Chain A
């Protein structure tokens, strides 16, 4: 799955394991958690469906190779963290202390990730820090910069600053008539509001776009600059809102060339319908990564027509197409969040095989540490639409991505920056 590796370090780990001997298991357990109840349940359902498909695939191919050369099956338990920070923390503690799971995958929500990553040990080997010592490889929570909270937490999530930077660079190059921007977000949704106010607007300004009413105080091309002023200068809504008349009117009145609509599918559709009803559609629209989902195409395909979104998943390779089909067969759907679960399972399998794991329940703590070391050592992994570069000191990923746009009721690839 990954091409470059700190081979010597891993080989040493594997050798040491074999020399040490000990019992080997016939099953390697992993844990997953995400929102399986509440309004974001579909995220957890999709992730679990793909984790199941990936583990089935690993097991169909014989399983995972252990330190002694024998093969073990993989199994998983999936827990419901419900997009609730307390629940996410409780699950992390339970999995780490009461199960033999060697690693976790999750959670769904950035708010849960931000809170629960804090209960993991911050620095490996710090005896004064009694935080959880179990590796976690996140598939969904995408808010910028979360993995560095702990050296035990890693993410295989899209790098939104990079994606929006490239997107606006491309728009500036290919659409010179687009000059002014205006936007809004769901202020009570961490990912939507954070990405909008700290990443998207700054990326647009970086590439020469101007806020329609003149520069916003303290906002520059730097990530996060003046984010509070971005929010106060925008026309925003809440995740549960149903009336968007004031916001749509503000967007229309702005007369900007490009509208940024940073929200999840439910309000994206409500807002776009109101905007369309007022005949306020702009020359171009840019949406939030999470909106490049089937929900928007089901809810408002006509109004979303033309909206451009960068995404780290699209069924453009044979592997991606296969995962999309497997997700559907397992009752889920593959998108930029859930598809990462497939990659995560494959990464975990490769790391387990590389570092030499016995699966012996009495060595859980030691083997969790080995897997963490293995994850940290990764330089690249093979993703569904291309090679993923690991940002090793931060535990983050730089995933390949494409720009999709809504066209005739589907998300179609508009531009492929990989080429």
Chain B
């Protein structure tokens, strides 16, 4: 199939819009890394898990389906607490590899629980109401209403998180723990409470992202977990681990790059270029786009 300039532009627009989901997941990775200097590999699994719990409870109790988007993030926040306890709290803080491996274990554990509870079958997920069918045309270019909604939501989330981190006592404490763990403890900051708060915040955000990802397809499946984990992690790394705006920008960029190469090189080569982008950043700009924001001792 041949393609022209409009096709390329359209694929970039679609990709950037869809990249909002990667951005939200990347934001969660970066939040946790910023607070603990550790990667929580189970983050996207918790997010999808939350979406499943929301859907399950809404179905079980015949609740209005819009409540899935409320219950899902709360459930993801609770799952994140569990992940924190088993993968981080109970493992010595100096054992970074132990926490990393434990969170990978938690990822697969959550994934397998979902698969066993749902028999692996994709489940219908409520769509984003009027946004789901909305499709705006601007000349020859089309814009999906639900993805615009998700993108706006991502930008608002970024604003809320920046506000929480820089203009609240919780944010001050989080930054203190992040920058000098021991000093923060000596100042009486309860670091585990702060870490749990960060996990809950990131979990709620991820729960929204999980619900949005499922709503954008109208179906939820355990198959979503691994690709979203990988792309979200790449977004966090390219954006600069610990950088909030970096995660957002990199997430959108990855969506655009992914869709562009899908158009020009096909589905089998698409991800090669995304990983290539990661390697380029790791070699040429290892701290990512905004890595200098990480001010650790």
Is the pairing of A and B real? yes
CB pair A277 B116 closer than 8 Å: no
Residue of A nearest to B255 (CB): A243
Q: Separation in Å of the B273 CB from the closest CB of chain A? A: 14
B142 part of interface (Cβ distance < 8 Å): yes
Given contacts A245-B18, A245-B144, A254-B1, contact A41 B121 (CB under 8 A): yes
A242-B213, A278-B135 are known contacts. Are A265 and B122 too (CB-CB below 8 A)?
A: yes
Q: Are B122 and A249 in contact (CB under 8 A)?
A: no
Q: Which of A39, A236, A250, A254 has the most CB of B within 10 A?
A: A39
State whether A245 and B259 are in contact (beta carbons under 8 Å apart), knowing that A240-B227, A253-B1 are contacts in the complex. yes
Q: Which of the candidate stretches A70-78, A152-160, A293-301, A411-419 sits at the interface with the other chain?
A: A293-301
B293 within 8 A of A: no
- Tell me how far the C-beta of A293 lies from the nearest C-beta in chain B, rounded to whole angstroms: 9
Q: Which of A22-30, A51-59, A266-274, A353-361 contacts B (4 or more CB under 8 A)?
A: A266-274
User: Are A270 and B223 neighbours in the complex by a CB distance under 8 Å?
Assistant: no
Beta-carbon nearest neighbor of A253 in chain B: B1
Q: Decide if B227 touches A298 in the complex (CB within 8 Å).
A: no
Q: Does A187 sit at the interface, judged by CB under 8 A? A: yes
Distance of A120 Cα from B227 Cα, bound (Å): 36
With a CB–CB cut-off of 8 A, which chain B residues contact A300?
A: 218-219
Chain A hits for B219, CB < 8 A: 266, 269-270, 299-300
Which one of B6-14, B33-41, B79-87, B201-209 is at the interface?
Answer: B6-14
Measured between C-beta atoms, what is the minimum distance from A109 to chain B in Å? 12
The answer to whether B1 touches A278, judged by C-beta atoms less than 8 angstroms apart, is: no
Give which listed residue, A235, A240, A243, A277, contacts B226 with CB less than 8 A: A240
CB distance from B184 to the nearest CB of A (A): 39
Question: In this complex, what residue of B is CB-closest to A332?
Answer: B119
The segment from B160-168, B185-193, B263-271 found at the interface with A is B263-271
Q: A265 CA to B213 CA in the complex, in Å?
A: 17
Q: Are A277 and B266 in contact (CB under 8 A)?
A: no
Q: Which of B262-289 contact A (CB under 8 A)?
A: 262-263, 266-268
**0/1 per residue, A296-309, Cβ < 8 Å to B?**
00111000000000
- Which residue from A37, A250, A299 sits with its C-beta under 8 Å from B1? A250
**B142 and A278 form a contact (CB under 8 A):** yes
Q: Are B1 and A242 in contact (CB under 8 A)?
A: no
Known: A236-B267, A270-B217, A295-B121. A249 touches B227 (CB 8 A): no
Select which of A38, A240, A265, A277 is within 8 A of B135 by beta carbon: A277
> Are A236 and B259 neighbours in the complex by a CB distance under 8 Å?
no
Say whether A238 faces chain B, with CB atoms less than 8 Å apart: yes
B261 to chain A, nearest CB (A): 10
Residues of chain B with a CB closer than 8 A to A238's CB? 267
A175 at the interface (CB under 8 A from B): no
A246 to B257, CA, bound (A): 13
Asked if A392 lies at the interface with its beta carbon under 8 angstroms from chain B, I say no
User: B105-126 CB contact bits vs A (8 Å, 1 = yes)?
Assistant: 0000000100110011111100
Contact of B115 among A41, A213, A236, A295 (CB under 8 A): A41
Query: A387 → chain B, closest Cβ, in Å?
Result: 32
B140-180, CB under 8 A of A: which get 1 and which 0?
A: 00101000000000000000000000000000000000000
Q: Which of A245, A277, A299 contacts B122 (CB 8 A)?
A: A299
Whether a CB of chain B sits under 8 angstroms from the CB of A13 is no
Most buried by B among A243, A245, A269: A243
Residue from A35, A37, A237, A266 within 8 A of B112 (CB atoms): A37
Closest to A294 in B: B121
What are the interface flags for A194-229 relative to B under an 8 Å C-beta threshold, 1 for contact and 0 otherwise? 000000000000000000010000000000000000
B47 at the interface (CB under 8 A from A): no
- By beta carbon, the residue of chain A nearest B133 is A277
Q: Given the complex, which residues of A lie within 8 Å of B198, measured CB to CB?
A: none
Q: In whole angstroms, what is the CA distance A232 to B216 when docked?
A: 27
Contact in complex: A236, B122 (CB < 8 Å): no
Within B64-99, the residues touching A (CB, 8 Å) are none
Bound CA span A38–B111, Å: 9
Q: Which of B214-244 contact A (CB under 8 A)?
A: 216-219, 221-224, 226-227
By a beta-carbon cutoff of 8 Å, the part of chain A in contact with chain B is 35, 37-42, 45, 187, 213, 232-233, 235-243, 245-247, 249-250, 253-254, 265-266, 269-270, 273, 277-279, 295, 298-300
Q: What 9 pairs across the A-B complex have the smallest Cβ distances? A: A41-B120, A245-B14, A240-B223, A266-B122, A270-B217, A42-B121, A243-B18, A42-B119, A242-B217
Give the interface of B toward A (CB within 8 A).
1, 7, 10-11, 14-15, 18, 112, 115-116, 119-124, 133, 135, 142, 144, 213, 216-219, 221-224, 226-227, 255, 258-259, 262-263, 266-268
With A232-B266, A266-B223, A277-B144 given, can you name 16 additional A-B contacts, CB distance below 8 Å?
A: A38-B115, A39-B115, A41-B119, A42-B121, A241-B227, A241-B267, A242-B216, A243-B14, A245-B259, A265-B122, A269-B217, A269-B219, A273-B217, A278-B142, A298-B124, A300-B219
Contact sample, A vs B, 24 pairs, CB 8 Å cutoff: A35-B120, A41-B119, A187-B267, A233-B1, A239-B223, A242-B224, A243-B14, A243-B15, A245-B14, A246-B259, A246-B263, A249-B10, A249-B11, A253-B1, A269-B218, A273-B217, A273-B218, A277-B144, A278-B135, A295-B121, A298-B123, A299-B123, A299-B124, A300-B218
